[in-house]
Structure 1
Amino acid sequence: MNKLLVNTPQNVQIEYNIASLGKRILAYVIDAILRLILLYALLYFADLFPKQDSWMEMGIDSIIYFIVLLYPLILEILLNGQTIGKLIMKIRVVCLDGNRANNFDYFLRWVIGIVEIYLFFGMIALITAIINKNGQRLGDIVANTCLIDLNPKLDLSQTIFADVSETYKIRFPEVYRLSDRDINIVKENFTSALKTNNYDVLLKLTRKLEEIMDVKSDGLGNIDFIQVIIQDHYHFHKDK
């Protein structure tokens, strides 16, 4: 599965998986149900008001259908790349470079989606998303966007102790200043911060480690720096 590095407002990089096709389809089904409910609700309330003639009735119905058609565009703009379905499935539209998409990007996805999803019953979107390595439909390709899974891959056995070879070189020998209790606290807070996307905690952890060890993060991002410290501590003490 392809991955995408997303830069947070605190300049922390988090690696996300590209949203799976299954999650995207489920999000679409949820939104489709909500749009049907919205459609029938609006039509029901419209019927409560008298119409002067058939032209007025046709005009009101056209406005209602257009509002329902605008549903994904309006919500993606208001919810920063999410509809209700995407929110429930924890996926989001972002630019392919990981930055936040803008309103014009959402508009492009929406306009092209009218053709590839509604006029062709979703077949073009489905085929394109399957073929494309980033799971992009035509609207995403034109807008240079994709959908990411908001749950970062958290396999700590790979992220924290990815390199356990005998040739591992400790990057920060100052880890001797950290006790086992210190590093356990770091690991606990690091894991929790990743799971909740708490970038402030990651930043504070980095600053605290720099202070205790009297080092600088050496150009590493907060996540990479903390992982290196945990690895260094493990290798420094593993044979002791």
Structure 2
Amino acid sequence: MAVSIQTTQNVLLEYEPASIGDRIFATLLDYVVFAAWLILTIALPASAGWMGSDRSVVYVIVVAALPIFLYDFFCEWLLNGQSIGKIALKIKVVMMDGSQPGIGAYLLRWLLRLVDTRIFSGIVAIVCVAASGKGQRLGDLAAGTTVIRLQPKVQLNEVTYNALPPTYELRYEAVRQLSDHDIQVIREVLRRGTSDAAERTATKIKEVLGITTSQSTYEFLNTIINDYQFLSMQD
């Protein structure tokens, strides 16, 4: 089941839920971060003889263990739904309607992570994600969230970029009025948008640029991208 997300341009895009493998690998990368932190805060000070006082236990709890314990919550809250592992895997936590989760949703996901991935070593999380059909573990079900893949399996340039022939001729001069962000939205619509989203996007571009054309919706959008690419190559 795809997750639909409404952009600021009122374009409906569909994102694929992150796979179990994506989420497991992201978690493993986070564990690498944990290991590096423990080495930095415990192993190195211990080898240098900096530990051994009565305050060592407090140091280990506050400086070494507490950041790891709170890592998932603060990373997802402060990094817009991503931990370091999720950033590397290009996956992200979102609400089921595609909106940005609030601090309460992140907190609920974090609290139930103890059941999902800690107490039962991830078995509960794997079963829930596989059974839900929406990429949700227990924490996601409770918080109304899921984890989506930001990067499509097929590379974007394989879908929206074409090698322009040397004889390519610019069709719509008004494309100069568009920005890189506008073109990115068009590419996303071609990659993940519905046919209705493509139609509304094409209509909006025609209105803004004052274009009248007999081209089909997808042919028109691809021409806009090609024209923009052509102009960019001339600069």
| SS of equivalent residue, structure 1 residue 70 | helix
8 A Cα contact 1:18 1:134, kept in partner? yes
Q: Does 1:42 align with 2:32?
A: no
Q: Which residue does the alignment assign to 2:217?
A: 229
Indicate the residue corresponding to 1:218 in structure 2. none
SS of the residue aligned with 2:171?
Answer: helix
Opposite residue 71 of structure 2, the aligned amino acid is: Y
Task: Work out the CA distance in 2 between the residues paired with 1:190 and 1:124.
Answer: 38
1:79 positional shift: 0.9
8 Å Cα contact 1:128/1:136 also seen in 2: yes
* 1:209 alignment partner AA: K
Taking structure 1 as reference, are residues 233 and 128 closer, same or farther at Cα in structure 2, changes over 3 Å only?
closer
Q: Return the alpha-carbon distance in structure 1 between the equivalents of residues 150 and 56 of structure 2.
A: 43
CA RMSD of aligned residues (A): 3.8
Q: Secondary structure at the match of 1:181?
A: coil
Unaligned runs of 5+ in 1: 161-178, 216-226, 235-240
Aligned residue number for residue 210 of structure 2: 212
In structure 1, what is the Cα distance between the partners aligned to 2:202 and 2:149?
Answer: 25
- Which amino acid is 1:135 matched to? G
Contact in 2 for aligned 1:109/1:143 (Cα 8 Å):
yes
* Stretch moving more, 58-67 or 125-134: 58-67
Residue 181 of structure 1, aligned match among 171, 176, 181:
171
Match of 1:26 in 2: 25
What TM-score results when the alignment is normalised by the length of structure 2? 0.68
Q: Compared with structure 1, are the counterparts of its residues 113 and 228 closer, same or farther at alpha carbon in structure 2 (3 Å cutoff)?
A: farther
Output the CA distance in 1 between the equivalents of 2:138 and 2:70: 18
Q: Secondary structure at the match of 2:151?
A: coil
Deviation at 1:72, TM superposition (A): 1.4
Aligned residues: 192
Deviation for aligned residue 1:120? 1.0
Taking structure 1 as reference, are residues 67 and 190 closer, same or farther at Cα in structure 2, changes over 3 Å only? closer
Hey, what does 2:138 align to over in structure 1?
138
Q: Does 1:194 find its partner at 2:188? A: yes
CA contact (8 A) 1:16 1:151 kept: no
Question: Is the contact between residue 186 and residue 221 of structure 2 (CA under 8 Å) also seen in structure 1?
Answer: no
Percent of aligned positions with the same letter in both sequences?
Answer: 30
Gaps of 5+ in 2: 161-168, 192-197, 223-235
